[in-house]
Amino acid sequence: MSYVAPVKDMLFNIQHLAKIDQIAQIPGFEDAGLDTAQAVLEEAAKLAEGVLAPLNWEGDKNPSSWKDGVVTATPGFKEAFKQFTEGGWQGLQHPVDFGGQGLPKTIGAVCGEMVNSANMSFALCPLLSDGAIEALLTAGSDELKATYLENLVAGKWTGTMNLTEPQAGSDLAAVRTRAEPQPDGTFKIFGTKIFITWGEHDMAENIIHLVLARVQGAPEGVKGISLFVVPKFMVNKDGSLGARNDVHCVSIEHKMGIKASPTAVLQFGDHGGAVGYLVGQENRGLEYMFIMMNAARYGVGVQGIAIAEQAYQTAVRFSRERVQSRPVDGSVAAGASIIHHPDVRRMLMTMRAYVEGCRAMASVAASAYDAAHHHPDADIRKVNQTFYEFMVPLVKGYSTEMSLEVTSLAVQVHGGMGFIEETGVAQYYRDAKILTIYEGTTAIQANDLVGRKTARDGGQTGKLLAVQIEGTEAELIKSGTPDALAVAKRLKTAREAFVDVVNFVAGNTKASPNAVFAGSVPYLMLAGNVMAGWQMARALLVAQEQIAAGTDVAFMQAKITTARFYADHLLVKAGGMRDSIVDGAECVTALALEAF
């Protein structure tokens, strides 16, 4: 399937909403301004369009395979991964000290979107390595960093996350994998881990598993979980690879989508125990794993945007080519392509608005991450960290749920042809479904938003964001154009609905937890909708200024039209969602259990 990277839209966000020139003033990012962003994005587009996209359908038809413990990737993937790593793409956002390029997330995230749009199954491998690198950078000893990071950053080795077990899905308190301390300071790891993305494959020399396990005698529950590095092959003191460790892939799953990405069942310790190395301190494993999970959750949100973009492009191409019926206004006598039909236009605009809104939201969140981690001013770091943490469940939850709607619409635009595998659009629908599940389901993102991000601070972060949104409304009103005034009206109503829900959540989580959590996912969807709508409103203001300056008028006018559509068709849902959350909580749990 063909793919054209939306470089222009990405650069618009990076320049005007994420403020890349401000990021470039942070020490260490001096060379990471708009010119660098453009050069990097154009190169990423070549890789995504020319190398990765042509392999996507092949991966769906001819998935990774398992035989006698060996997993072989889809034909062409190994060669593509070699091009990916030789181009330095794995190390794009990682520190120069370990061979990375040290670029900001503001640039790296959109490159990740391109890779995922082109081939999501492929992109999962570097995504998991990114998480392993983040965890080791944060909690690994100097020795672990020296042993593993350079090869992980180079992409010579890949990384995995090993959380889930047959009896321990979202409830990690139930983890049973055990770690036995050894006299030499290492540990022997015993247990089974399931759903391990790219847990075994033939694309890299070594696979570095990060594994949650319990040390003997550790406390029960989540407070007794530690994190270990368990390499597939042992690493000798000189850095060369040694003996095979006692970790083996006993099977891979047969899945609805992302078929080219092997999802492994890994067995640790069947032949005496897998050698593991403690990361950080004992019993703090979940804390460290959350570093990986937060990195991955943002990345999965980007996957939602990515697959929605590809679905949108495919639907647009089909709707230009497919001839069916005369338009209702008679503008074309006969033989009209379906893009002339108002309902097809509505579907395409819905897809476009969702994608652009979520991309803008993710771009602004990435910019906050860069400031939070690298800005020299502690107060600025703190403000941006709070903003980023609030946005992560929205980027993950809203963007992935959005991708289901958009990929479904893409099938609908294709009509009966969309139900036929050969058109390719069904794959996007199947692939997208996993995004609302892995790295924490939508409900878990909503629990995070309610508990950690809203109830904990009494709703202060949410209300401070509402104040900023109100400032954008004032700018829209000041602008005075019909589009700006219409968007201001919608944004005001949505903001007020958001504040009502924030107050409801902050005021009732302790006293009436069932009432609040009954509306937790709707709250997540409302918050994501409002934050994406806010960014589209900001984009409209920028686009008006650019048109006044005579800059790329066609693109900027399309941006205004899309922002107006978002406000009139998507942002308007906020009021109804508010009513369901605040007024409709009781009926969610009112039906007697035996009545189901």
User: Rounded CA gap, 557 and 546, in Å?
Assistant: 9
User: Rounded CA gap, 511 and 515, in Å?
Assistant: 9
Burial class (CB in 10 A: 0-12, 13-18, 19+), 591: exposed
The active-site residue, picked from 150, 200, 439, 473, is 439
Q: Catalytic site residue 200?
A: no
3-state secondary structure of 99: coil
Q: Which residue shows structure tokens 């992302």?
A: 258
User: Rounded CA gap, 150 and 140, in Å?
Assistant: 13
DSSP 8-state secondary structure symbol assigned to residue 567:
I
* 185 Rama sector, left if φ>0, alpha if ψ -120 to 50, beta otherwise: left
Half-sphere exposure of 52 (CA within 13 A, CB side): 31
User: Residue 434's closest CA among 526, 304, 289?
Assistant: 304
Q: Are 426 and 420 in contact (CB under 8 A)?
A: yes
List of residues 6+ apart from 223 with CB closer than 8 A: 283
And the tokens for 83? 């091009």
Q: Which residue shows structure tokens 């005698």?
A: 217
Q: Is the dihedral of CA 411, 414, 419, 424 positive or negative?
A: negative
User: Rounded CA gap, 271 and 209, in Å?
Assistant: 18
| Residue 78 CB neighbour total at 10 angstroms | 14
Q: Which residue shows structure tokens 């392993």?
A: 132
Longest CA pairwise span in the chain (Å): 84
Q: Where are the beta strands (DSSP E) in 198-270?
A: 206-215, 226-231, 233-235, 241-244, 247-252, 263-268
Amino acid letter, residue 589 = T
User: Rounded CA gap, 346 and 571, in Å?
Assistant: 15
Q: Are 269 and 262 in contact (CB under 8 A)?
A: no
Q: What angle do CA 563, 565, 571 make, to 5 degrees?
A: 85
| Residue 338 CB neighbour total at 10 angstroms | 21
Element (H, E) at 459: none
Q: Are 154 and 125 in contact (CB under 8 A)?
A: no
Q: Are 561 and 570 in contact (CB under 8 A)?
A: no
List of residues 6+ apart from 405 with CB closer than 8 A: 350, 354
Residues marked active site are found at 439
